[in-house]
């Protein structure tokens, strides 16, 4: 809801009245729907942020921890670590054998090119995949497996597991397995910890993790040689560092993601050709383990042959071990895991499409909002200079008496202050109090004051539009001023308000409503909102000749103009917006008199504020929908449809609906992208708003001290207004109806002293 929309408070209607107009209370499920929509978007963004955890730094949390609890056989052993019966066992890569391992993928660009190189050279690789990357690029994983390569777990977010809780370790592994199942229908028994490198990297912090994973059936894979391609040292150094010494076998580390891998792509085919020329063969981790196990079995058989009769030939034993499917690292995912994995990939796909799309939309919204701020400042400045020219005049001075209509329903706390302020008016007026079936003695209080030119008209409770129409019918003068029973005028308010009627084209005039009870935090927030709305938005709309609303707290009309459009309509909950648009369409000009001030009592609690703004925003939507055909009106009567309607829809409905997401994206960027840059961007936007608010306060001659509440208003109050608007949109979309409501008043806004002004 835009902050310049200051509207009157609705009066209660009798049950029969409510039934007749078919306005029902909003069902609570609609509130739940609105909150669920926001929660869903937040969840999608959190998932997207979780998936985009940083990969590729290749740094451990610590590098100097003790390894006193790690067996020497492990620290000095081969790169393949497994546990059998709780006992750690390592295996080495057979001589003249290379196991190409790749970390940090899959990547849609680099991994695909690595796979092309492997295919061209007819060698397999073992890829240790990051679960978040699998979730984002499942097609790459599918190709990887179909091409005969092997895959292993490299955690879900590339975190150093050595210093994580047991629950986090389990979650990182399980989520990666789900992603694998969803992408390729498999799980794996291979694992490589981020930042693990060689066996001697195991320390007292990481050893329990390896033991835990070993008990779960995982083989932890380390390396013998490191190409250190992540440092981008140059192609020759990558090849040199990846080459094992003295014909030994090696588990070699490359990277297929996590940064620019152009040097890796250039070095890899040269490295493969070099090693093949030296008589090396290439295999996967499982293939190397099978070879090592076969060689071990052959050695054991040779020893047994020396002591006893042979049981089986070495060739048979080796063949049996290599053909045993239990030695393969891949497992077919069970049905439950398969569908859970597909669900994960589906959620990720939604996030992958939704977040960038929303980011693009919000970028447009952000530019539009900043553009609006700029336009308001420029036009407000122009409006101020135009109205303060010495030669500016609306036409002949308006001196004839006017009728002031005061609809009142149970206003015993405020009615005396309201009428006493009118009695001090410097312009000749008659006061028509229309008592709308009050039960608290409002009419009696008005009569007991004994003020001159006050008439009290009683009617059965029928609602505010009916009360205003009744007042217009009883008005004696051609100009009628409408106000609320909880509002007070300054002595010169009426005089300043009616001067624009010196121009015969003017059919209605909006005044400047101000918050009287601004001593509380809620009151101060609304005070800032009102000052900005009335001194920026309304000045802009005035110059553009598309004023959307004459506020119910202070507005003046030509009596004939009101009657000509059928009076105050009961079709919407925003009769003030409704009649304003109707007057535009009838060809009348609607203007703003910034010096005609009214002091109103704003809601004093969050509950009352929610009900008021909920009704306002919903009523605005009703009025816009009712007058949707104004966009096709021609001539002056169609100006609101061509200019005002798009502005109101864009800046009072569309951008506020998306505005909460801007805040959510700011938090998202602070957590997952760049905290400092995101904070500076938020502060920059706040500075723009502060400049706009400061200029609005200057135009209205307000005290700047209230602007100290602006940051907190942006954090707390603005979010409430966003939720109100979203709630209203859900209600409108689902066809809900609202009933009139009466807010509790205290009467604390008294009659302003002459010359008080904005101070």
Distance CA 641, CA 647 (A): 10
Q: Which two tokens stand for residue 629?
A: 């055909």
Higher pLDDT, 736 or 197: 197
Strands in 246-363 per DSSP E: 250-255, 281-283, 330-332
Q: Which two tokens stand for residue 658?
A: 């998306």
Distance CA 603, CA 584 (A): 30
User: Among 314-318, 380-384, 597-601, whose mean pLDDT is lowest?
Assistant: 314-318
* Concatenated DSSP letters of 503-531: STTEEEEEEEEEES--SSHHHHHHHHHHH
What is the reported pLDDT for 326?
36
What is the reported pLDDT for 53?
59
Distance CA 595, CA 592 (A): 9
Residue 103 designated active-site = yes
User: Among 111-115, 259-263, 445-449, 637-641, whose mean pLDDT is lowest?
Assistant: 637-641
Q: What is the dihedral of CA 457, 458, 463, 469, to 10 degrees?
A: -30
Decide: helix, strand or coil at residue 573.
coil
Strands 506-515 and 454-459: unpaired
What is the reported pLDDT for 321?
32
User: Among 162-176, 634-648, 673-687, 690-704, whose mean pLDDT is lowest?
Assistant: 673-687
* Predicted confidence (pLDDT) at residue 19 exceeds the cutoff of 70: no
Contact 588, 544 (CB under 8 A): no
Q: Which two tokens stand for residue 602?
A: 């704003």
What is the reported pLDDT for 647?
92
Contact 125, 102 (CB under 8 A): yes
Average pLDDT over residues 193-207: 88
Cα-flanking dihedrals φ and ψ of residue 412, to 5°? -60, -30
* Concatenated DSSP letters of 261-287: -HHHHHHHHHHHHHHHHTT-EEE-HHH
Interval 62-97: pLDDT, tens: 667 788 899 999 999 999 999 988 899 999 999 999
CA angle, 215 then 218 then 222, to 5°: 120
| Helix (DSSP H) and strand (DSSP E) numbers for the chain | 28, 20
Distance CA 519, CA 604 (A): 10
Interval 337-378: pLDDT, tens: 999 999 989 888 887 787 777 778 778 888 888 898 999 999
CA angle, 602 then 607 then 609, to 5°: 30
Helix spans in 452-568 (H): 464-474, 493-498, 521-532, 538-544, 559-564
The whole model's pTM is what?
A: 0.67
Distance CA 155, CA 131 (A): 6
Which 8-state DSSP code applies to residue 9?
Answer: P
Q: Which two tokens stand for residue 100?
A: 């190409």
Average pLDDT over residues 656-671: 75
Contact 480, 402 (CB under 8 A): yes
User: Among 34-38, 266-270, 414-418, 528-532, whose mean pLDDT is lowest?
Assistant: 34-38
Reference 207, options 74, 63, 77; nearest CA is 74
Interval 283-314: pLDDT, tens: 999 999 988 777 666 655 555 555 453 333 33
CA angle, 24 then 25 then 31, to 5°: 135
Distance CA 571, CA 626 (A): 8
* Predicted confidence (pLDDT) at residue 39 exceeds the cutoff of 50: yes
* Predicted confidence (pLDDT) at residue 119 exceeds the cutoff of 90: yes
Decide: helix, strand or coil at residue 590.
strand
Q: What is the dihedral of CA 145, 151, 156, 159, to 10 degrees?
A: -150
The active-site residue out of 154, 158, 255, 627 is: 255
**Percent of the chain scoring above 70 in pLDDT:** 84
Distance CA 759, CA 599 (A): 12
Contact 53, 132 (CB under 8 A): yes
* Predicted confidence (pLDDT) at residue 198 exceeds the cutoff of 50: yes
Q: Which two tokens stand for residue 18?
A: 């409510």
Q: Which two tokens stand for residue 250?
A: 């090696």
Contact 407, 436 (CB under 8 A): yes
User: Among 52-66, 353-367, 450-464, 492-506, whose mean pLDDT is lowest?
Assistant: 52-66
Mean pLDDT of the chain: 84
How confident is residue 432, by pLDDT bands cut at 50, 70 and 90? very high
Average pLDDT over residues 112-138: 95
How confident is residue 177, by pLDDT bands cut at 50, 70 and 90? very high
Distance CA 449, CA 110 (A): 86
Cβ neighbours of residue 650 closer than 8 Å, sequence gap 6 or more: 368
The active-site residue out of 103, 226, 576, 700 is: 103
Place of tokens 């909102």: 529
Distance CA 315, CA 490 (A): 108
Residue 503 designated active-site = no
Interval 574-626: pLDDT, tens: 899 999 999 999 999 999 999 999 999 888 888 888 888 888 888 888 899 99
Reference 194, options 209, 212, 211, 216; nearest CA is 209
């Amino acid at each position: 809801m835009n902050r310049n929309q200051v509207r009157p408070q609705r009066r209660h209607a009798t049950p029969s009245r409510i039934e007749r107009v078919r306005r029902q209370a909003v069902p609570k499920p609609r509130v739940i729907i609105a909150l669920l929509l926001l929660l869903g978007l937040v969840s999608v963004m959190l998932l997207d942020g979780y998936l985009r955890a940083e990969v590729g730094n290749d740094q451990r949390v610590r590098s100097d921890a003790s390894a006193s609890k790690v067996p020497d056989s492990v620290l000095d052993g081969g790169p393949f670590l497994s546990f059998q019966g709780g006992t750690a066992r390592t295996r080495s890569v057979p001589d003249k054998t290379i196991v190409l391992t790749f970390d940090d993928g899959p990547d849609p660009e680099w991994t695909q090119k690595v796979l092309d190189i492997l295919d061209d050279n007819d060698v397999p690789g073992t890829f240790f995949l990051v679960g978040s990357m699998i979730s984002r690029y499942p097609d790459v994983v599918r190709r990887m497996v179909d091409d005969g390569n092997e895959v292993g777990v490299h955690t879900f977010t590339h975190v150093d597991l050595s210093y994580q809780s047991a629950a986090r370790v389990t979650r990182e592994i399980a989520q990666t397995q789900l992603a694998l199942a969803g992408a390729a229908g498999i799980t794996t028994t291979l694992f490589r910890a981020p930042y693990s490198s060689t066996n001697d990297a195991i320390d007292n912090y990481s050893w329990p993790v390896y033991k835990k994973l070993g008990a779960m059936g995982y083989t932890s894979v380390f390396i013998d040689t490191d190409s250190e391609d992540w440092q981008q040292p140059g192609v020759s150094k990558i090849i040199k560092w990846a080459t094992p010494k003295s014909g030994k076998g090696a588990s070699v580390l490359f990277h297929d993601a996590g940064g620019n891998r152009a040097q890796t792509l250039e070095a890899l085919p040269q490295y493969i050709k070099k090693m093949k020329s030296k008589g090396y063969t290439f295999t996967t981790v499982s293939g190397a383990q099978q070879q090592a196990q076969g060689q071990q079995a052959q050695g054991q058989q040779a020893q047994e042959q020396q002591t006893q009769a042979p049981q089986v030939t070495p060739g048979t034993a080796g063949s049996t071990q290599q053909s045993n499917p239990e030695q393969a690292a891949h497992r077919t995912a069970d049905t439950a895991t398969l569908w859970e994995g597909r669900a994960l990939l589906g959620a990720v796909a939604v996030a992958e499409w939704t977040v960038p799309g929303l980011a693009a939309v919000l970028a447009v919204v952000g530019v539009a909002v900043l553009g609006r701020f700029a336009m308001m400042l420029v036009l407000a400045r122009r409006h101020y200079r135009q109205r303060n020219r010495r030669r500016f005049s609306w036409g002949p001075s308006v001196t004839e008496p006017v009728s002031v209509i005061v609809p009142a329903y149970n206003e015993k706390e405020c009615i005396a202050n309201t009428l006493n302020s009118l009695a001090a008016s410097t312009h000749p007026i008659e006061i028509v109090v229309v008592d709308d079936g009050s039960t608290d003695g409002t009419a009696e209080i008005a009569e007991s004051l004994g003020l001159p030119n006050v008439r009290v008209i009683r009617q059965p409770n029928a609602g505010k539009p009916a009360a205003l129409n009744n007042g217009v019918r009883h008005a004696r003068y051609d100009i009628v001023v409408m106000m609320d029973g909880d509002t007070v005028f300054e002595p010169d308010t009426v005089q300043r308000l009616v001067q624009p009627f010196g121009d015969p084209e003017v059919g209605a005039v909006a005044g400047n409503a101000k918050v009287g009870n601004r001593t509380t935090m809620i009151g101060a927030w609304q005070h800032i909102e009102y000052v900005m709305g009335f001194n920026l938005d309304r000045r802009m709309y005035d110059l553009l000749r598309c004023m959307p609303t004459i506020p119910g707290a202070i507005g003046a009309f030509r009596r004939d103009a009101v009657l000509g459009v059928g009076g105050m309509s009961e079709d919407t909950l925003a009769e003030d917006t409704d009649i304003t648009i109707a007057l535009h369409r009838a060809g009348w000009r609607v203007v703003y008199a910034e010096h005609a001030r009214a002091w109103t009592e704003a809601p004093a609690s969050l509950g009352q504020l929610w009900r008021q703004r909920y009704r306002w925003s919903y009523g605005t939507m009703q009025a816009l929908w009712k007058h949707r055909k104004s966009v096709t009106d021609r001539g002056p009567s169609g100006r609101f449809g061509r200019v005002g309607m798009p502005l109101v829809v864009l800046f009072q409905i569309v951008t506020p609906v998306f505005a909460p997401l801007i805040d959510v994206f700011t938090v998202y960027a602070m957590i997952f992208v760049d905290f400092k840059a995101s904070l500076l961007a938020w502060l920059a936007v706040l500075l723009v708003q502060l400049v706009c608010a400061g200029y609005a306060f200057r135009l209205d001659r307000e005290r700047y001290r209230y602007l100290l509440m602006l940051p907190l208003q942006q954090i707390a109050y603005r979010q409430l207004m966003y939720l109100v608007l979203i709630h209203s949109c859900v209600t409108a979309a689902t066809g809900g109806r609202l009933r009139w409501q009466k807010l509790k008043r205290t009467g604390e806004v008294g009659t302003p002293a002459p010359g008080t002004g904005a101070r």
